[in-house]
Amino acid sequence: MRHLSLMRWLRTLSVRLTLWNTLVVLLVLLVALFAVREGLRYYLLLETDQFLSDEAHLVLLTIEALHPDREETLAEIGRIAASHSERGWFVRWLDEDGKLLFSSRNAPSELLTTGTPLGKSATLYVSADVRSVEHTLRKPGLPKYRARVGAPMAFVNNDVSRLTRVLIPVGVVLFLLAPLGGAILARAATAPLRDIIETTQRLRPSHLDERLKIRGTDDELDQLAGQINHFLDQIALHLAKHRDYLANAAHELRSPLTAIQSNLDVVLERPRSTEEYREVLSLVENECQHLISLVSQLLSLAEADAGVTTIECVPVDLAAVLRSCCELFEPVAEVKSVVLMLASGDGATVRGCPQQLRQLFTNLIDNAVKFTPPQGRVNVALTTSMVDGKSFAQVTVDDSGPGIAENLRVRVFDRFYQIDPARQRNVSRGNGLGLSICQSITESLGGTITVLTSPGGGARFQVLLPAQQDQPER
């Protein structure tokens, strides 16, 4: 168990951030210390080369000023060499043929002959232990004397070694502090994540009121918290709708079952006549038909929610579907003295299931006819429109009924929601699922359905479906 706990702890984001922060700090530290060390070496070598070049030039100026007095020249060069002897510098004087005319006692025995140009008249000679700079005298009437001034590299190496000895303790201290700094940075970076974890651990399906804290930094963690809060809002809304859905479904199922049970209890109290039995059985049949319709609608919505529908979509002539739906309700409209009109224009083709489309527009026309008073009108229109460069078929169903208040329109597609009795005409029994099924079918086909106020003051349902040019299925 301890081993598993340790492995789980090592895999935490905080530990991994600590390790990465530590590795990055140590890498930067090593690079910085190495850069400082090598930078000092480079600077010392650059300064040394400049000093050697200046001294070699000074020797040539001395030779030029004292020429042709060789004795005096040798004496002066000797004094120059003596002034630098404590630092280990050496001086050489050569003629144009390379013959040695003067050499300091501390000068190396071997004379380097291959060097690197350093300026117009200077050459740099470098070996493992010595650096030297040679200048050549280029004056008309004077021999091409050469003066070489050099110095051992021990002092440069000593200075670099001293700096290294200083940097090593500093590096050790920083090496020890790096994990601590990495842990502090990792803890600060993961603090919002810990808050998110602690908050989400307290959430329960029955308790979704708490939300993650937004710190106002607008960084990625704030954006994550905002997205989680939005997701929690959606879940809470979904659960609330689900609870209402279950309660309403139970109520809708219980009502016909209670009616069936009550009628059966009454009829079984004592012997009844044939007409009485027939009347009760007719009531029971009506309630059973209502139950069958309700269960069928509930199954359709459940399949749509689960996305398990396997209906094949084909090109469908929408005008033909609307004509068949209107023909179905013409007798009902005629009995109610309601004028049912269809304006299909040039027609439109959509991709979908003919049965689903008939169910969609049958529900809308049924509602329109149901809630339109006698002498009223129901207008069904089919047009095409362009939205964001895409072609859509637009179907509008207008009635001249009492309409739907604006504050109630947002709920007309909720399951089991029914408008107040002022809109009910008691012509048929509803359960509040028809418009929910209409919305589900429309959205499954990639369209939208909205409710507005018709020009006549009633309700207007507008359906937008993607149109296409395929051959329609009739």
Q: Which of 177-186, 198-207, 244-253 has the lowest mean pLDDT?
A: 244-253
Of residues 423 and 290, the one with the higher pLDDT is 290
Asked if the model's pLDDT at residue 421 lies above 60, the reply is: no
pLDDT band at 422, cuts 50/70/90?
very low
Asked if the model's pLDDT at residue 6 lies above 60, the reply is: no
Both 141 and 255 in a single domain? no
Q: Which of 55-69, 309-323, 354-368, 411-425 has the lowest mean pLDDT?
A: 411-425
Both 320 and 455 in a single domain? yes
Residues 312 and 353: beta-carbon distance below 8 Å: yes
Of residues 429 and 261, the one with the higher pLDDT is 261
Tell me if 191 is assigned to some domain: no
**SS3 assignment, position 371:** coil
Both 332 and 273 in a single domain? no
pLDDT in tens, 335-381: 889 999 998 776 788 888 888 888 889 889 988 898 889 999 999 99
CATH number at residue 134: 3.30.450.20
Among left, alpha and beta (phi > 0; psi -120 to 50; other), residue 48 is alpha
pLDDT for the residue numbered 408: 78
Number of domains in the chain: 3
Both 270 and 326 in a single domain? no
With 0.85 as the threshold, say if the pTM is over it: no
| Final residue of a structural domain among 274, 306, 338 | 306
pLDDT for the residue numbered 293: 64
pLDDT for the residue numbered 149: 92
pLDDT for the residue numbered 124: 92
| Strand 339-343 relative to strand 377-387, pairing | parallel
Residue-number span of the structural domain to which 389 is assigned:
314-466
Tell me if 42 is assigned to some domain: yes
Average pLDDT over residues 140-151: 90
Beta-carbon contacts of residue 382 (< 8 Å; ≥ 6 apart): 318, 319, 322, 342, 343, 344, 345, 347, 348, 393, 394, 395
pLDDT for the residue numbered 425: 40
pLDDT for the residue numbered 247: 63
Both 298 and 346 in a single domain? no
pLDDT for the residue numbered 93: 92
pLDDT in tens, 274-330: 887 788 788 888 778 767 766 766 666 665 555 555 567 788 888 899 999 999 889
Both 24 and 118 in a single domain? yes
Both 324 and 297 in a single domain? no
Tell me if 235 is assigned to some domain: yes
Within 10 angstroms of residue 166's Cβ, the number of other Cβ atoms is 11
Q: What share of the chain is helix, strand, coil (3-state, %, to 5)?
A: 55, 15, 25
Asked if the model's pLDDT at residue 471 lies above 60, the reply is: no
- State residue 105 phi and psi, 5-degree precision: -65, -35
Both 275 and 354 in a single domain? no
Tell whether omega for the bond before 179 is within 30 degrees of 0, i.e. cis: no
pLDDT for the residue numbered 116: 87
Both 280 and 358 in a single domain? no
Give 404-410's long-range contacts (Cβ < 8 A, gap of 24+). Answer: 404/451, 404/453, 404/459, 406/453, 409/451, 409/452
Average pLDDT over residues 89-102: 88
Give 6-13's long-range contacts (Cβ < 8 A, gap of 24+). Answer: 13/186, 13/190, 13/193
What are the tokens at 127? 């070996």
pLDDT for the residue numbered 380: 92
Give, in order, the Cα–Cα distances in Å from 258 to each of 427, 429, 432, 446.
Answer: 22, 16, 19, 40
Tell me if 202 is assigned to some domain: no
CATH number at residue 249: 1.10.287.130
Residues 133 and 123: beta-carbon distance below 8 Å: yes
Both 297 and 378 in a single domain? no
CATH number at residue 399: 3.30.565.10
DSSP 402-447: S---GGGGGGTTSTT----GGG--SSS---S-HHHHHHHHHHHTT-
pLDDT for the residue numbered 427: 44
Both 342 and 284 in a single domain? no
Q: Which of 65-74, 165-174, 257-266 has the lowest mean pLDDT?
A: 257-266
Tell me if 176 is assigned to some domain: no
Tell me if 205 is assigned to some domain: no
| Final residue of a structural domain among 306, 339, 367 | 306
Q: Which of 90-94, 132-136, 249-253, 262-266 has the lowest mean pLDDT?
A: 249-253
Both 454 and 352 in a single domain? yes
pLDDT for the residue numbered 424: 46
| Final residue of a structural domain among 306, 323, 345 | 306
Asked if the model's pLDDT at residue 403 lies above 80, the reply is: yes
Average pLDDT over residues 202-226: 76
pLDDT for the residue numbered 259: 75
Task: Quote the percentage of the chain above a pLDDT of 70.
Answer: 84
pLDDT in tens, 437-455: 888 888 888 889 998 888 8
Asked if the model's pLDDT at residue 45 lies above 60, the reply is: yes
Average pLDDT over residues 238-257: 67
Asked if the model's pLDDT at residue 470 lies above 60, the reply is: no
Tell me if 335 is assigned to some domain: yes
Tell me if 156 is assigned to some domain: yes
- State residue 126 phi and psi, 5-degree precision: -130, 130
Provide the mean pLDDT of the chain.
Answer: 80
